[in-house]
Amino acid sequence: MRNFKQKLIIGTRASRLALAQTALFIEALLNAYPDMSRDAIIVKTIKTSGDRNQTDRLDQIGGKGLFAKEIEKEIVNGEIDVGVHSMKDMPAVDSLELSIGCWLERSDHRDGLISNANLSFQELDAKSVIGTSSIRRRSQLINLRKDISINALRGNVDTRIDKLNKNEFDAIVLSIAGLKRLSLDHMISYIFSDDEILPASCQGAVGIQMHSKNDELSTFLSPVNDSKTERLCRLERDVLREINANCNSPIGLLAKEINNNVILSCEIFDHAGQKIYENKLEELKDLSNDLGKKMGQDILAKVGQEEIDKLYKLDNDFNYTP
């Protein structure tokens, strides 16, 4: 029987944000196991396909799973014990060989705007150029303001901010959770409310992936797991699985607990920024396990699988000009 307190190998991407999220996991581990030495934890950085290709759009080269597959391969091969992932970047369908061993407590789920002139979203001039790589954000921003321009922006958080500082964009939109983890949230000039922009499924949540048949490791990770985050994020992922959608699709999803109820909200947009679906389901917390599947079935009844499949990839130029 292996003692993971004596040695645990963690795989992660090498970006500052990925390493910051790995540090959060390590601190959670050490809090759960005060007798575990920091020296027993080995961090291995892994370059993924998504890191190597910083030019092409994600929907054209295989989706956001490109940030995970090399890490997943090393877990399957036994080269690392666990992988650290931003769960919004993970495909909705889990591999049979792999599972999420634990979830860290979800951070701020919202999107934030950083503008060169420290302006709010409403204060931006018409035809201001906003940078994003997200098809979801692209559609949501166009829905809110059809007089602004959207240009594609790939790269890690530091790269994107550097391009903003070089005046290649008037503003950029990023996850607030990522900015907070990098202590860059002071740069935010506007926070989008949930009524304006629903986040991607699981935005702000970090998952620790492991081999699904490793019962000893599952037991070891159990004290680190945030059950509320797991419960709500699984509902969001259930919606995507039910409609065979992808984390790259223009779909906003958010599950919240309010008092003893769970509220699941969903919005779907076409690539022209038109909202084609909006719904909110509420259920008692103890009865909410099927809420994601119910939402997915409602989407299929009202929108249809054929229309959902069309949203998987943006066939036209990503850039939008009014």
Contacts of 30 (CB under 8 A, 6+ apart): 36, 38
| Residues 74/80, Cβ–Cβ less than 8 Å | yes
In angstroms, rounded to a whole number, what is the distance separating the alpha carbons of residues 154 and 135? 12
H helix and E strand count, the chain: 11, 13
Residue 160 has phi, psi (to 5 degrees) of -65, -45
Extract the tokens encoding 217.
């490791």
Largest alpha-carbon pair distance within the chain?
Answer: 63
Query: Known catalytic residue: 89?
Result: yes
Which residue, among 3, 74, 65, 25, has the nearest Cα to 45 in the 3D structure?
Answer: 74
Helix 16-32, helix 157-165: angle, nearest 10: 140
Give the helix/strand (H/E) hosting 59: helix 58-61
| Residues 209/72, Cβ–Cβ less than 8 Å | yes
In angstroms, rounded to a whole number, what is the distance separating the alpha carbons of residues 139 and 201? 16
> Identity (one letter) of the amino acid at 96?
L
Among residues 89, 111, 170, 238, the one annotated as catalytic is: 89
Extract the tokens encoding 313.
């990839």
Which residue, among 10, 82, 74, has the nearest Cα to 44 in the 3D structure?
Answer: 10
In angstroms, rounded to a whole number, what is the distance separating the alpha carbons of residues 77 and 56? 29
CA distance readout (Å), 75 to 39, 85, 94: 21, 13, 14
Which residue, among 203, 258, 257, 182, has the nearest Cα to 24 in the 3D structure?
Answer: 182
Catalytic positions are 89
